[in-house]
Amino acid sequence: RAAGDHRARQRDRKGRARTHSARTGVELGQGDPGGLCCSAMGAEDAGMEARIVHRVKEILMGSNLDTTTEKSIRRQLEQEIGIELREYKPLIRQEIQKYLEVEAVRLSQQSQEAAVKSESEKGEEANVEAKKRGGNSFGSILSPEMSAFVGESHMARTMVVKKLWEYIKGHNLQNPADRRKINLDSELSKLFKPPLTMLNMNKQLSRHCKVDDRAPPPQRGKKVVSSKNKVKKSARKIHKDAKKTGEKRKGGGGFGTVQLLGPLRSFMGADVASRTEVVKKVWAYIKEHNCKDPNDGRNIVPDSTLGQFLTAPVNMFNMNKQMSQYMQKSNPIN
């Protein structure tokens, strides 16, 4: 009986409010007070939605995404605005989802840039150039599992993330209770370990995407000069200058000898040698003892002898840099 009386009182109040609105509209000379009221309510709803969207983004930017929940954000908004926002739950959930997806892509890009920076600190000049252009032209080297998933062996990390999200949304694999969490089906179980969330996906993705350390291809419209041609040009210039000054040309093609140190001296069996002689003998040893990686001929697998002055991982691009620490400048070859 009490509940029925309460509902009756609510109906009476609503009826009186509608009557008052109609009378007010007629007194002001408005032809359609009901339409004006609906328009005002629509404008108010649009303003409220814009306010909620703006505040949700601000709250997420200043929150810990590991612990923040949709309910806690809604309660904070209700305290700020002063009304109950239960009817805006779908809008709040949608904005949280958008922000988390953008954040996941941003974290993936940061992880890729950090990997490139780490390689550049180790002396990989090709990766430094790739970073300046916004990523290596070859993309990332994908693991066999990820290659089978995306259908390619090389792909930019951001594109891998994009394909993963297309698959997750297409198969509705986000947890309905907490859309930051991702349910693993038979395909994703081959790539990730549970629990998988938007925030730890990039960390698990790192073992499937490795930075390609190959030198980037030349840019179009620019003439490429090989290092061999540069050496020949330098030698011709030295010879030309020597003719002008009347000096006798020094031997060695413009290359001086270096003082060999430690294990490299033992390997060469001499105290001094030219750099070309050292490189030539090291490569002869590598080919004779089959020290190349069978899966990738650019990589070198040091045995007990090469391991004295080469440290894995080593390839044809960074081998000379590793050997340089066992060489000191000496007088040029006469």
Residue type for position 120: S
Pairing state between β 272-274 and 181-182: unpaired
- 3-class DSSP state for residue 87? helix
Give per-residue pLDDT as tens, 171-212.
999 988 888 889 999 999 989 988 888 888 888 888 888 876
Residue-wise over 173-200: b if at least 16 C-beta within 10 A, else e? Answer: bbeeeebbbbeeeeebeebbeeebbbeb
The residue among 177, 163, 170, 241 whose CA lies nearest residue 208 is 163
Confidence of residue 309 (pLDDT cuts 50, 70, 90): confident
Give the lowest-confidence range in 136-150, 206-220, 316-330.
206-220
Stretch 281-308: mean pLDDT: 89
Give per-residue pLDDT as tens, 34-68.
555 555 566 777 888 898 998 888 888 888 877 88
User: Is pLDDT of 223 > 60?
Assistant: no
Tokens 């891998």 -> residue? 160
Are 129 and 216 within 8 A, CB to CB?
A: yes
User: Is pLDDT of 235 > 80?
Assistant: no
Are 329 and 260 within 8 A, CB to CB?
A: no
Give per-residue pLDDT as tens, 118-176.
666 655 555 555 455 444 445 688 888 888 998 888 888 888 888 899 999 999 999 88
Instruction: Give the pLDDT confidence score for residue 264 in this predicted structure.
Output: 87
